Amino acid sequence: MMNQFSAETLKPVKRGDVLLTSQPFVYLVSGSLKSLYCDFCMAKKSGKGLRRCSGCRLEHYCGRECQAAAWKIHRLECQRLKRVAPRVPPDTARLMAKIVSQIDIPHTYKNRNKGSCEKPSGLHMTIPV
């Protein structure tokens, strides 16, 4: 049996080459960077380019599109954050809560007609070398 990889198809890995792309299960913008990055698409915005969630006032978004796209996941967190305001849970606690919520979400969005689950999509990120 011949090897499916030949010397011509294998290339040496160079600095900056993308080796793997993946969608994270959950993600969180660190508290110290919240006013600089969109909590959904992770785009960097300087100055007053980000809008806060009107509910919890903690999440920041590029605009209505990112806020609407994040709402499936954020609505549960938003309710919980409003209950503890003005205190802000540490990043570790928020990340753990997102993990637990994400595990439960497929059951929340079950399509009863087809019996399938609609799982919210994550952020597409690449890992550079």
Query: What residues in the chain have per-residue pLDDT under 70?
Result: 1-9, 47, 104-129
pLDDT at 3: 56
**Residues in Cβ contact with 123 at an 8 Å cutoff, skipping those fewer than 6 apart:** 23, 24, 27, 40, 41, 42
Beta carbons within 10 angstroms of residue 62's beta carbon: 19
**Rounded distance between C-alpha atoms, residue 56 and residue 88, angstroms:** 10
pLDDT at 109: 43
pLDDT at 72: 85
Instruction: Give the three-class secondary structure for 19.
Output: strand
pLDDT at 76: 87
pLDDT at 38: 92
Give the predicted TM-score (pTM) of the model: 0.63
What the block records as the tokens of 102 is: 């994400």
pLDDT at 78: 92
pLDDT at 102: 80
For residue 127, give the nearest of 29, 13, 17 by alpha carbon. Answer: 17
